[in-house]
Structure 1
Amino acid sequence: MSLNFYGLIIGIVMLISTGIGHIIVIKGEYHFGTKLWPLFLIVGILSISLSFIIESMLLSGSLGIIGITFLWGIHEIIEQKERVNRGWFPKKRNG
């Protein structure tokens, strides 16, 4: 019997991707506002597109997770603006 670590590795990729995505949304909205969303869209679509053509199941799955994380980040960056307006996160001072 051999052990299959694929699910565990993909789970770790999901955890790391979500954590880094959270940081990117917070820092990105702070420095650039919501105008960062087109970059999230491009990275998301490219990652998902690459996941379709990569033969490695591990790399393909990881790219799919990263792509979906960035697409979800579009929603989150807009929500982050609302969280800043509510005072839950600091607002960048101009000047």
Structure 2
Amino acid sequence: MSDFFKKYASIRGEQHVQRLQLEGTIAAQIKERRKQLNMSQQELADRIGVPKSTIGRIEAGLASPRVETLFKISQALNIPFIIDGTNGHDHHLHIQV
């Protein structure tokens, strides 16, 4: 964890920082896969029935999508949606899209 995140965790709590990092990872995975498919944000938005701004906010890490939205994104991008709560000893929810 970087010094910034350590300091931020001391203020907001480690779980909050871990959640932000997880959301950032998911956002990056969505953006990377969309670009691999040469799909625009508008095309993805149209496929899942949300405004383009929603996709932009998700990819920028400014919005936390609902599970149903993540599922629709995974279908549109043809990638598995896996929620694995059994990852190691940390007992945190890990989501792979």
TM-score bin (small chain): 0.3 to 0.5
Bigger proportion of residues as helix? 1
Bigger proportion of residues as strand? 2
Determine which structure has more spread, i.e. the larger CA radius of gyration.
1
TM-score (norm 1): 0.37
TM-score (norm 2): 0.37
